Amino acid sequence: MRALPWLLALLLAACGGPLNNPHASGQAGRDILLSSFSERPKHLDPARSYSENEVVFTGQIYEPPLQYHYLKRPYQLEPLTATEMPQVRHLDARGRPLPAEAPAEAIAFTSYEIRIRPGIRYQPHPCFARDARGGQRYVPLDAKTLAAVDRLDDFRETGSRELIAADYVYQIKRLANPRLNSPIFGLMAEYIVGLQEYGAMLEQVVRDLPRDAYLDLQRYPLEGARVVDRYTYRITIRGKYPQFIYWLAMPFFAPVPPEAERFYSQPGMARLNLSLDWQPVGTGAYYLAVNDPNRVMILRRNPHYHPDFYPDAGEAGDRAEGLLRDAGRRLPLIGEAVYSLEKEDIPEWGKFLQGYYDSSGISSDTFDQAIRMGPDGQPDLSPRMRERGIELATAVRASISYMGFNMLDPVVGGNDCGAPEPPPGVDGAAPRRSGERLAGCERARKLRQAISIAVDYEEFISIFLNGRGIPAQGPLPPGIFGHREAAAGGVNPVVYRWREDAGGGRVVRRDVAEARRLLAEAGYPNGRDADTGKPLVLYFDTMDAGPDAKPRLDWLRKQFGKLDLQLVIRSTDYNRFQDKMLKGNAQIFQWGWNADYPDPENFLFLLYGPNRKVGRNGENAANYANPEFDRLFRRMKDMDNGPARQAVIDRMTEIARADAPWVFAYYPKSFGLRHAWVENAKPNLMANNTLKYRRLEPAQRVTYQARWNRPVWWPVGILGGLLAIALLPATLAYQRRLRAGAR
Amino acid sequence: MLAYVVRRVLYAIPILIGVNLLTFALFFVVNTPDDMARIHLGAKHVTPEAIVRWKADHGYDKPLFFNGTATGPARLTDTLFVEKSLGLFAFEFGQADDGRDIGREISIRMWPSLAIALPTFLVGLLVYVSLALILVFFRATYLDLAGVILCIVLMSISGLFYVIGGQYLLGKLWHLVPISGYAPGLEGLKFMLLPVLVGVVASLGDSSRFYRTLFLEEIHRDYVRTARAKGLPERLVLFRHVLGNAMIPILTGVVVVIPRLFLGSLIIESFFGIPGLGSYTIDAIQAQDFAIVRSMVFLGSVLYILGLLLTDLSYTLVDPRVRLE
């Protein structure tokens, strides 16, 4: 134990910095972002990758033609590798151009013509290395070369080449490659002309090929994706799908050089984990320099990165917050980003507080240390965070969490009740049904409305989310076109009412007495069936299980208990839960949705009848179907943002609120912390390539790290002293016993 | 002895088949290949066609144990069990569901596991045996009593507490070592200190008590009395004679562990961010990656059998009376 201080001192000398520095020495003083990731990415192939934890990497490496403006809100698309926004043309069934204002029914096809900037080059990579004859230097790979290879860096020669339109077309074809199992193939096959058939054809081709043989997609043309010239390509989709343009800002539509796929498909590569899925090749601001997903991933500045500049305009307040200080500067502003694997929250949080990570999220365990709720209910930093110069950024995510009712269930469900009368200016509602069916339908609707009132999500947000959410008033979260703030008439009248007060007014949840009245009208006075007198038992299916979930589930039972309803929790695992949902065997469940793109269509389709889960495998988990809602949805999805679209959305929201297939729970809020030395950190929950805008003050980081991590030696001294005190009587006793033995 | 070793190796084959059979049965009772496909394909836009394609691509589109559509021996061989199991016996682990080669991952990740497990094992053994011998030396005194109470206290505390407490005190409060992390080579020394210390302290209570009990059994034997009568100092009596004669029960517990050091520790690796085989297994279970789970269970079984064999062989080294035939 007495050697411990010496050992630690030796380590200090080896580290050349604070003893507890988990990073390589010298990194803190350079323009290197130090961050973490909690889950190793599964896929880095842009045709396969679809998770948030993967896009942290793929978003910086791959460049689709479009991107989201970093600063402007609401989110806006802008060209990235494209010279301008795509030229969109509507065509009739014979391929003849239609005017822009042509009705959706007349539009058989829509073409997107995209011209990319000349001169963009790929990152250095061995797949571009050339031999004397101009062929790929490492294709085919001889056994001797392969034997000397363990990592990608072992290929000594690298090269680069210019990005061309054919690379984008190649990637679109890859979406149909059956070996890749792209998660968006099914969706895109519905739209991109010929993609479905292309996939079927490739399945035949693959069947006749050896398992690992190279599949050269360049040999097989795809009707819906064509090269126009070296820098221009055209995508043709069926009908009108205005939201398609958002997909052009995702890595799925980023370019992939065929040479890379050819290079990686050689025998022996897969065994070394060398594949496009693990070693990406892109034109982005960064390339993946170190890929050790078990420990660390390092992105380094792409030396061939094309001219790209920090935006010189943003939304109001950005200039005052210093977000335009780097306007016009060449990107990227940071040379390297080191992401270390941190599976557990506690070590990650500890290192952030020590200054070893530049930014951090806030887990439930650490929330109280980081945040204090102000008297106005607004979150603010705790004094300890303020002392350290830590800054807080919050943003409402383009997501919704809801409690769904299975509309196929005989107790809580019942589609096609008809709908309340529409307001003037919007097409009429479907005719009301009559008779016994309507009565059952209405009963269930009132039951759902009563439950919607009783389940107090303000309380849930306060207890379980530490205030990191906004009670939802409808299916559309803030920031998405169609969302109305409560003060502007966006209150869900079924669950809330607007109360005027000195501050201008606020939303108040309706009283439980109103819920009880609705319940009685539904035929369940005091939670008992009026006909049989038996208590109403409802079933909540969840994959939440274990001790962590118990408080939440107890809380939920209590909410139903307010209406004297008995709630039986049916906890199950992820797979059984999915299975129940697919078969429509769940009754009440909790669900959520993260938007793919900031358009109301991407939320309202969750309630679109033909998109139901049962029988269609869609995303409408409640299996809700309302003819008027569906008709309005078909109209809304093709409309441009404007007053007419807003009116349709308002009506759809009204129908959804009245039918209450969901208890609109909350819109999650993301909280992020960053140290004072991190600049230009504006939350952008849609953009994937935000790393290039960040800037650091490394000197400040070094100073703070040294100040916050001075080793504390006195406990070691005390421990040593205690041990010595404990050993002293033992030593004395030992010697006494030896002397006694000798006698 | 060679015949004995060969016989034991042959015995291992049905055991490994049995282990593999059980792993298959247990895994697929909980998860169907459809479930696995759903987990790997994610929550959005998953079509039934995509599930079928995923299963075919990963070889999960065959029956588990019996193929009714095949004829002859293919009824048994053209099944998921046989196809996925045969390779294991040649240590061909195949690919994980994310496409990475499992054999390569194991060969990379066993070193970080070993870097933590081996020093923990060696330092631990030295500390536990020494402490136990000291307690035995002071048997039936207040020091012995205090030591036993301390051991019981240490045993009663969850291993997780030592991990979090160690990280908090040494890493977060006193800034003496990194809270977690790993680096290969010499740079990794600073990361090893805390997990090794935690690993040693976490087992200090139970291991020391166990060894104390073994040594107490020996301390009253005739040979110990004879050694003392010869005038040997107590130090030599304990460390040479008592320790030597207690070797068989010590080896029974120790040698069997040695091969399994490669597999690492699930908790330590997870909390300290050690990219070893322990965290590999945990991740695979969470991700329901059957290819990895199957490989790790198989490897664990092989190493356990190897450990038992080594234990038997080691008896012949410490006790000349033992003969393996």
**B-chain residues near A183 (CB < 8 A):** 41-42, 44-46, 50
Q: Which residues of chain B carry a pLDDT beneath 50? A: none
DSSP bridge pairs for A78: A67
Any A CB within 8 A of B176 CB: yes
| CB nearest A340 (choices: B40, B175, B181) | B181
Of A273, A351, A738, the CB nearest to B101: A273
Q: Nearest CA of chain A to the CA of B132: how many Å? A: 14
Q: Does A432 have pLDDT greater than 50?
A: no
Give ipTM to 2 decimals: 0.85
Question: Could you report the per-residue pLDDT of A10-51, keeping only the tens digit for each?
Answer: 554 454 578 999 998 888 999 999 999 998 898 999 999 988
CATH code 3.10.105.10 for A399-483+536-670: yes
Q: How far apart are CA B95 and CA B102, in angstroms?
A: 5
Q: Cβ contacts (< 8 Å) between A178 and chain B: which residues? A: 53, 57
Selecting from A24, A270, A713 the residue whose C-beta is nearest the C-beta of B101 gives A270
Domains in chain B: boundaries: 2-90, 111-324
With an 8 Å Cβ cutoff, are B172 and A350 in contact? Answer: yes
Return all residues near A94 (Cβ < 8 A) that are at least 6 apart. Answer: A108
Mean pLDDT of A419-425: 46
Determine the residue of chain A that is closest to B94 in CA distance: A271
Show Cβ contacts of residue A378 under 8 Å, excluding neighbours closer than 6 positions.
Answer: none
Q: Residue A715: helix, strand or coil by DSSP?
A: helix
Q: Strands A87-91 and A97-98, how do they pair?
A: antiparallel
pLDDT value at residue A422: 46
Q: What is the structure's pLDDT at B246?
A: 87
Residues 240-299 of A with CB under 8 A from B: 270-273, 275, 277-278, 292, 294-295
CA distance A429 to A419: 6
Concatenate the DSSP letters of all residues of B136-189 into one string: HHTTTSHHHHHHHHHHHHHHHS-HHHHHHHHIIIIIIIS-SS-SS---SGGGGH
Interface test with A, best of B57, B161, B175 (most A CBs within 10 A): B175
Q: Is A349 helix (H, G, I), strand (E, B) or coil?
A: helix
pLDDT confidence of residue A416: 67
Q: Which residue, B69, B145, B57, B53, is CA-closest to B97?
A: B57
b/e code B163-179 from CB counts within 10 Å (16+ = b): bbebbeebbbebbbbbb
**Each residue of B20-72: pLDDT tens digit?**
888 888 888 777 888 888 878 876 777 788 888 888 888 888 888 888 888 88
Domain positions in chain A: 3-17+711-742, 399-483+536-670
Task: With CB atoms and an 8 Å threshold, state whether A11 touches B193.
Answer: yes
Counting residues of chain A whose pLDDT is more than 90, the rounded percentage is: 72
What residue of A is the nearest CA neighbor of B194? A20
To the question of domain B111-324 being in CATH 1.10.3720.10, the answer is: yes
Indicate yes or no: CB of B177 within 8 angstroms of CB of A19.
yes
Helices and strands (DSSP H and E) totals, chain B? 16, 0
Average pLDDT over residues A444-452: 96
DSSP H or E segment with residue A339: strand A336-341
Compare A364 and A416 and report the one with higher pLDDT: A364
Nearest to B167 among A187, A350, A734 (CB): A350
| Torsional sign, CA B271, B277, B278, B281 | positive
Compute the nearest-CA separation of A185 from chain B (Å): 8
- Do A20 and B177 contact (CB within 8 A), yes or no? yes
> Across chain A, what does the average pLDDT equal?
90
Question: Tens digit of pLDDT for each residue in B283-301?
Answer: 888 888 888 998 999 999 9
Where does the pLDDT of residue A7 fall: very low under 50, low under 70, confident under 90, or very high at 90 and above? low
Does position A201 have pLDDT exceeding 70, yes or no?
A: yes
Chain A to chain B, count of Cβ pairs less than 8 Å apart? 171
Kindly report the nearest CA distance between residue A356 and chain B, in angstroms.
10
CB contact under 8 A, A278 and B99: yes
Nearest to B175 among A20, A578, A738 (CB): A20
Is residue A697 exposed (0-12), middle (13-18) or buried (19+ Cβ within 10 Å)?
A: middle
Give pLDDT tens digits for A692-703.
999 999 999 999
The band of A433, judged by pLDDT with boundaries at 50, 70 and 90, is very low
Q: Touching check for B234 and chain A: CB below 8 Å?
A: yes
